Structure 1
Amino acid sequence: MGTRLDDDFKGLATTLSAVARSLQAEPDLGATLRAIVKAAVEYVPNAEHAGISLVEQGRIRTVEPTSPVVETVDQLQYDLREGPCVDAIAEHETLRVGDVGTEPRWPSFGPAAAAHGLHSLLSYRLFVTDRTLGALNFYSSRIDAFDDRTEAEGQLFAAHAAIALVGAQREAQLGVALENRDLIGIAKGILMERHGIDSAAAFRMLVEASQTANMKLHQVAAWLVETRGQD
């Protein structure tokens, strides 16, 4: 028995390591999310569909679902404000249900999900430290498709996915910041040439225009760059 458990553990560790490397290798946030849900369906036993419920500015939206039914059922959760992924995010815990149509916790969502052919659902909160990114969700048309072992192994997968996701988000934010910095630099150069002023004065002009127009600084810079030569 011990040898079999050791072999199972080694196999799980090898799989998770491969998944982690593949996620880190993805070039952008969208590709990372697609890799997460693809690997989730391939890795988690009996998972027929998967999707990520991403928290953005206090709202939840589904990204990169593996099938249209995922987006449909997730939207039901958001609209009804009940269901495993909503609770996983709000209550900071893992939610597993084997027959959602008869689940008393979700009297409206449960029958609706079952009507779309989904009966077993498994939702993990995706988080790093105290920051909740969203939820990783698995779906099956079978009743009682997910057992204790599946849930435990899926938890390890969700942890790897959360780390890869937050890394991809930071890289995306850094890319936007660098792009905005370049725009502002180009806009400053235009103003310096046009008005014969130095860099500090050009930056003050951009700040004043931003405040007057109630626009972000990079938006003012982008407008100036786009309209140069049209005077």
Structure 2
Amino acid sequence: MTDRMNDATASAFARLALELHDAPGVEETVDAVVQFALQALNCTYAGVAFATRGARAEVAAVTDPVVAEIFEVQIGTQVGPLVEALKDREPILIRDTSTDDRWPAWAEKVASLGVRSVLDVPLTTGPATRRSVGVLGLYSPEPDAFGPDDAAIAHILARHASVALASARHEESLSQAIDARKLVGQAMGILMERFDIDADRAFAVLKRYSQDTNTKLRDVAQQLIDTRKLP
């Protein structure tokens, strides 16, 4: 790495680490990542797409509607560097969308949006499992905009982002699970009092309504709490 990775850049990453640690949730964490990318890298636009359980990507944050369009085209067709970076967990550099022939239709679309350089960096956790968290996408209207320093800095940013986002999503999932259990417990209490039934029977009633109406259990519970009526 050359002198671009100097004390100022190192200090910036230290500040980013603190900001990511203090971010209250996933939305704030991912926003901090894309805003830092604009400051630290030679890119005009940036975005993050999350990996989902179905191995498809979903848009998490973008700094410009152009990025959302670039993401959506790939998510819809399942073709493009974002899809490949998510699948193979390897960074992909496109020096010029007007000449790159790996994904012709996608490259033509992106070039028409005024984007010439693309650097997609996978967000992964754990050196052993390398589980996909998502992809950090970096974009520039200039051809050959990303050099070795940009790739190195993007890699470091991706490592910080991967850990922070995985942690934020885990904490959010835990919080949602705890909230759901509380809602179901309250709903069960209402049924037990109203119909003089035990906890097992109350839970069975909620579960049956959830299955019959194809509604999440927590949503059935919430409706019962709000309206005192089942769906």
Matched, 1:23 2:20: yes
The structural deviation recorded for 1:73 is: 2.0
Matched, 1:55 2:51: yes
Q: Please give the TM-score of this superposition, normalised by the length of structure 1.
A: 0.87
2:104 aligns to what SS in structure 1? coil
Contiguous gaps of at least 5 residues in structure 1: none
The structural deviation recorded for 1:102 is: 0.5
Contiguous gaps of at least 5 residues in structure 2: none
Change beyond 3 A, Cα 1:204–1:80:
closer
Q: Cα deviations across residues 106-125 of structure 1 (Å, max 9, x unaligned)? A: 21111221111110110001
Q: Please name the residue that 2:133 is paired with.
A: 133
CA distance in 1, matches of 2:14, 2:223: 45
* 1:169 counterpart letter in structure 2: R
Cα RMSD of the aligned pairs, angstroms, is: 2.4
CA distance in 2, matches of 1:99, 1:216: 46
Matched, 1:110 2:107: yes
CA distance in 1, matches of 2:57, 2:155: 21
Change beyond 3 A, Cα 1:103–1:219:
same
Q: Cα deviations across residues 165-202 of structure 1 (Å, max 9, x unaligned)? A: 11111121112112111111111211121123443443
1:145 aligns to what SS in structure 2? coil
CA distance in 1, matches of 2:144, 2:3: 27
1:189-200 aligned within 5 A: 189-200=189-200
Q: 63, 82, 97: which one pairs with 1:85?
A: 82
1:69 aligns to what SS in structure 2? helix
Q: Which moved more, 1:25-34 or 1:154-163?
A: 25-34
Change beyond 3 A, Cα 1:75–1:218:
closer
CA distance in 2, matches of 1:229, 1:217: 14
Q: Which moved more, 1:170-179 or 1:54-63?
A: 54-63
CA distance in 2, matches of 1:102, 1:211: 52
1:108 aligns to what SS in structure 2? helix
2:76 aligns to what SS in structure 1? helix
* 1:76 counterpart letter in structure 2: V
2:119·2:146 contact (CA, 8 Å) conserved in 1?
yes
1:173 aligns to what SS in structure 2? helix
The structural deviation recorded for 1:6 is: 8.3
Q: Could you tell me the percent identity over the aligned residues?
A: 34
Matched residues, number? 226
CA distance in 2, matches of 1:193, 1:86: 52
Matched, 1:66 2:63: yes
Q: Please give the TM-score of this superposition, normalised by the length of structure 2.
A: 0.87
2:4·2:149 contact (CA, 8 Å) conserved in 1?
no
Matched, 1:177 2:177: yes
